[in-house]
């Protein structure tokens, strides 16, 4: 960022997120730039989706089930080069479309007004920036945070920062290049984290599988289902954590277990997840808690190594039972001192590996913050890219 210098000349503007703009730039109402595209009746066109992370993509490229309605007669047509946003605009669900297709009628499709020329990818970057998402929130309506619809009738009253087309093109080219570099950096760090997490599991497996005897879990632990609790009683804040099938789900003013306890998710997509706690908590009936006379931390790693999620079976939703868990075979160190030694060896190595993961996560967070600052500075004219520093 240090090499990106301000423009040579600015003029003052009255705008929430910029007090001045480079000479030659304009602050224009959206109604003078964009027109809403409302074309329906193209049911056979490819279904598109407006995502938070990737912008406008093909529905087929999403890693989730198609949730669109069967009747697509009211779906909106999108052409390549159009800009599209959904009711999650505030969360970043907007972008430039590379494809012809249709989107949900809950979306808004934008095309340039007749005679207006702009680079839609410039607005793709601006719309997805933090400052513009905050700006748009004031024009949205509704009560659901992040999902307040931004109607075109309100969007057109907003303003956008519009540089000359040549400047837009250069900004887009620069940001595309930087984004590719940043995305590659993030992928490499995420891959590193995956490999380290895999290594952590291998460390646990190696130490646990060194146990001298093979035994069923029912001989070394007791399992009891948690207690039912009404969802209305689970709050966002409170004295004691509430554990359900997928981990912590909120807080309650009572507890049903205390001190060292192992908790196993019983119901849900993450059933079989294992948590170690050494405090008062509430375990609801979508989870089980474990008591043992053996070393609790040792038993925690032993249960992690058992990969309990693989035991799940599905009816309405995935679940496991205490009986299935208790009938699992495992290698086991019977001597408490040996158990303690295994725990110390595991945790010494895991601490080293967790430091690697923490460093990578901080680097990912830092590069994302840099990208956000870079986009904001470029689309608001605070900085110019090298090719434009003579303007």
For residues 87-99, average pLDDT: 90
- Which of 56-60, 137-141, 294-298 has the largest mean confidence? 294-298
CA–CA gap between residue 36 and residue 357 (Å, rounded): 45
**pLDDT for 389:** 47
**pLDDT for 390:** 41
Whether the per-residue pLDDT at 386 is higher than 80: the answer is: no
pLDDT band for 90, please (50, 70, 90 cuts). Answer: confident
CA–CA gap between residue 119 and residue 81 (Å, rounded): 9
| % of residues, the chain, pLDDT over 90 | 76
pLDDT band for 142, please (50, 70, 90 cuts). Answer: low
**pLDDT for 193:** 98
Task: Kindly report, residue by residue over 226-279, the tens digit of the pLDDT.
Answer: 999 998 999 999 999 999 999 999 999 999 999 899 999 999 888 899 999 999
Whether the per-residue pLDDT at 65 is higher than 80: the answer is: no
Whether the per-residue pLDDT at 78 is higher than 90: the answer is: yes
For residues 334-360, average pLDDT: 96
Mean pLDDT of the chain: 91
For residues 292-321, average pLDDT: 89
**pLDDT for 50:** 93
Domains and CATH numbers, the chain: 1-25+164-183+343-391 (no CATH), 26-162 (3.90.220.20), 213-332 (3.90.220.20)
Whether the per-residue pLDDT at 54 is higher than 50: the answer is: yes
**pLDDT for 30:** 96
For residues 96-119, average pLDDT: 93
**pLDDT for 138:** 85
Task: Kindly report, residue by residue over 153-191, the tens digit of the pLDDT.
Answer: 999 999 999 999 999 999 999 999 999 999 999 999 999
**pLDDT for 302:** 96
Whether the per-residue pLDDT at 66 is higher than 80: the answer is: no
* Residues forming a β-bridge with 109: 84
């Amino acid at each position: 960022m240090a090499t990106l210098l301000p423009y040579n000349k600015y003029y003052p503007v009255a705008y929430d997120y910029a007090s001045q703009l480079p000479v030659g730039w304009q602050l224009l109402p959206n109604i003078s730039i964009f027109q809403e595209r409302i074309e329906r009746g193209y049911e056979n066109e490819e279904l598109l989706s407006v995502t938070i992370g990737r912008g406008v993509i093909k529905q087929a490229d999403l890693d989730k089930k198609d949730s669109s309605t069967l009747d697509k007669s009211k779906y909106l047509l999108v052409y390549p080069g159009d800009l599209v946003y959904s009711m999650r605009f505030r969360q970043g669900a907007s972008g430039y479309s590379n494809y012809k297709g249709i989107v949900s009628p809950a979306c808004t499709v934008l095309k340039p007004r007749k005679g207006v020329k702009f680079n839609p990818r410039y607005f793709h970057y601006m719309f997805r920036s933090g400052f513009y998402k905050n700006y748009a929130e004031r024009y949205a309506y509704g009560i659901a945070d992040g999902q307040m619809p931004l109607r075109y009738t309100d969007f057109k009253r907003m303003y956008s920062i519009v540089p000359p087309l040549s400047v837009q093109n250069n900004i887009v080219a620069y940001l595309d290049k930087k984004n590719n570099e940043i995305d590659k950096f993030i992928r490499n760090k995420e891959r590193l984290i995956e490999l380290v997490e895999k290594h952590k599991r291998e460390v646990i497996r190696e130490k646990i599988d060194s146990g001298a005897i093979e035994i069923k879990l029912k001989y070394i632990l007791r399992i009891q289902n948690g207690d039912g609790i009404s969802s209305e009683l689970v709050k966002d804040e409170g004295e004691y954590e509430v554990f359900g099938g997928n981990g912590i789900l909120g807080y309650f003013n009572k507890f049903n277990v205390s001190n060292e306890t192992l908790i196993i998710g019983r119901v849900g997509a993450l059933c079989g997840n294992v948590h170690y706690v050494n405090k008062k908590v509430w375990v609801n009936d979508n989870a089980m808690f474990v008591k043992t006379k053996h070393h609790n931390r040792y038993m925690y790693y032993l249960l992690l190594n058992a990969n309990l999620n693989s035991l799940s079976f599905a009816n309405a939703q995935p679940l496991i039972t205490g009986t299935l868990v208790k009938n699992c075979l495992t290698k086991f160190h019977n001597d408490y001192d040996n158990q303690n030694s295994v725990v110390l060896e595991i945790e010494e190595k895991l601490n080293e590996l967790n430091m690697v993961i923490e460093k990578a996560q901080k680097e990912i967070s830092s590069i994302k913050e840099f990208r956000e600052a870079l986009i904001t500075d470029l689309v608001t004219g605070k900085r110019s890219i090298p090719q434009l520093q003579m303007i």
